[in-house]
């Protein structure tokens, strides 16, 4: 791990490795990514191998700025340009028609490509250094830097814990957003929300001037997206979502032989059991997103068998957090 991931030496070392076809982990504002040259099928294969991810699951390609759209995509609709204009750099990934013959392995063989321009100074410096490297690297394919199906990492320590010493990790501090980017499919004539994030539907719709559809509206032809598999983002402990009242009732009836349990709730819960670890969920959706994955990892590290979570409010700004918790509970 390189602690000062923003230093010129760190960025140059990482860019050199990436230009040589190696894999490097780097911070983004959402979660840490496991990056490789999107234009090299061999480098991309190393990501799939390290993650243990099936190689037909497409990866997001990270670009330094909006010029990356023309480099990797074709037939870009006007509403997609508006989204780029409004949210890049930032936590929004667009699925676009892939340019012929480009980044086929990164796209998992699909005719489309996921593109995102991250808003993190280390990611940005790295992408610029990669563009200037020999040979130049125009984009970094990077899934979240976790093993397949596990919780995404929001600190460099999370990445190191999962992949060990051999992987170069640029430390850029804890991620500001904390859950993965919003994904909008722009290949079907209308925008389709594949994965909610911290941007609300209202924000996305206002920016592109179109109603956001959901994959269910699209006659079951939703593309394969591992982030949309039910049991994604699962910690080792079993997660259950409940309203505050059910949570309190469940605590009230805990027997003396209960396993270690953790609770994560906005409501203040009462318990006399010493088996229960209580943690407050912030009242603010963005603050909750920021800490969510680290909290789940801490519970795992403390060896709890069950995590009882208060269902987040049914409000637009909570959609991304609700989505991740529902998937964790399905695991």
Q: What does R_g of the chain's alpha carbons equal in angstroms?
A: 20
Q: Minimal CB distance to Mg ion: which residue?
A: 144
CB of 283 to ligand TXA, least distance (A): 24
**Candidates 10-18, 30-38, 273-281, 323-331; binding stretch for ligand TXA (CB under 6 A):** 30-38
Mask for 59-88, x = binds ligand TXA (CB under 6 A):
xx----------------------------
**Residues of this chain, 119-178, that bind Mg ion according to CB under 5 A:** 144
**Candidates 106-114, 128-136, 206-214, 236-244; binding stretch for ligand TXA (CB under 6 A):** 106-114
Total residues at interface with ligand TXA (CB under 6 A) = 28
Three-class SS of the chain: CECCCCCHHHHHHHHHHHHCCCCEEECCCCCCEEEEECCCHHHHHHHHHHHCCCCCCCCEEECCCCHHHHHHEECCCHHHHHHHHHHCCCCEEEEEEECCCCCCCCCCCCCEEEEECCCCHHHHHHHHHHHHCCCCCCCEECCECCCCCCCCCCCHHHHHHHHCCCCEEECCCCCCCCCCCEEEECCCCCCEEEECCCCCHHHHHHHHCCCCECHHHHCCCCCCCHHHCCCCCCCCCEEEEECHHHHHHHHHCCCCCCCCEEEEECCCCCCCCCCEEEEECCCCHHHHHHHHHHHHHHHHHCCCCEEEEECCCCCHHHHHHHHHHHHHHHC
Q: Does 57 bind ligand TXA (CB under 6 A)?
A: yes
Q: Does 102 bind ligand TXA (CB under 6 A)?
A: no
Q: Identify the residue among 40, 93, 248, 288 touching ligand TXA (CB under 6 A).
A: 93
CB of 99 to ligand TXA, least distance (A): 12
**Candidates 105-113, 156-164, 309-317, 322-330; binding stretch for ligand TXA (CB under 6 A):** 105-113
Q: Does 182 bind Mg ion (CB under 5 A)?
A: no
**Residues of this chain, 202-261, that bind ligand TXA according to CB under 6 A:** 223, 225-228
Nearer to ligand TXA, 227 or 331 (CB): 227
Record the tokens describing residue 246, joined without a space: 């059910």
Mask for 143-182, x = binds ligand TXA (CB under 6 A):
xx-----------------------------------xx-
Q: Under the rule (CB under 5 A), what is the footprint of Mg ion?
A: 144
**Applying CB under 6 A, which residues contact ligand TXA?**
28, 30-31, 33, 57-60, 93, 95, 107, 110, 112-114, 116, 118, 142-144, 180-181, 183, 223, 225-228
């Amino acid at each position: 791990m390189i602690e000062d991931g923003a230093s010129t030496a760190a960025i140059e070392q990482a860019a050199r490795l990436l230009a040589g076809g190696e894999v490097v982990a780097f911070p983004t504002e959402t979660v840490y990514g496991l990056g490789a040259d999107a234009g090299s099928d061999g480098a991309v294969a190393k990501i799939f191998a390290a993650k243990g991810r099936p190689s037909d699951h497409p990866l997001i390609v990270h670009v330094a700025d909006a010029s990356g759209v023309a480099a990797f995509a074709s037939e870009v609709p006007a509403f997609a340009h508006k989204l780029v204009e409004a949210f890049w750099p930032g936590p929004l990934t667009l699925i676009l028609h892939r340019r012929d013959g480009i980044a086929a392995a990164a796209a998992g063989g699909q005719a489309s490509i996921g593109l995102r321009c991250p808003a993190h100074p280390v990611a940005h410096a790295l992408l610029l250094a990669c563009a200037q490297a020999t040979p130049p690297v125009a984009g970094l394919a990077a899934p979240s830097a976790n093993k397949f199906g596990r919780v995404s990492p929001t600190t460099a320590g999370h990445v190191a814990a999962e992949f060990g010493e051999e992987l170069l990790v640029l430390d850029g501090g804890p991620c500001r957003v904390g859950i993965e980017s919003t994904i909008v499919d722009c290949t079907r004539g209308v925008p389709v929300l594949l994965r909610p994030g911290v941007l609300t539907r209202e924000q996305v719709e206002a920016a592109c001037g179109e109603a956001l559809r959901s994959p269910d509206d699209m006659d079951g032809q939703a593309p394969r997206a591992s982030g949309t598999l039910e049991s994604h983002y699962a910690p080792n402990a079993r997660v259950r979502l409940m309203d505050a009242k059910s949570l309190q009732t469940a605590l009230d009836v805990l027997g003396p032989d209960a396993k270690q349990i953790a609770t994560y709730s906005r409501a203040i819960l009462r318990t006399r059991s010493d088996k229960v670890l209580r943690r407050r969920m912030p009242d603010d959706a963005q603050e909750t997103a920021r800490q969510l994955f680290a909290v789940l990892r801490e519970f795992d590290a403390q060896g709890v068998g069950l995590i009882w979570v208060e269902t987040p409010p049914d409000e637009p700004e909570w959609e991304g957090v609700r989505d991740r918790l529902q998937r964790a509970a399905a695991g």
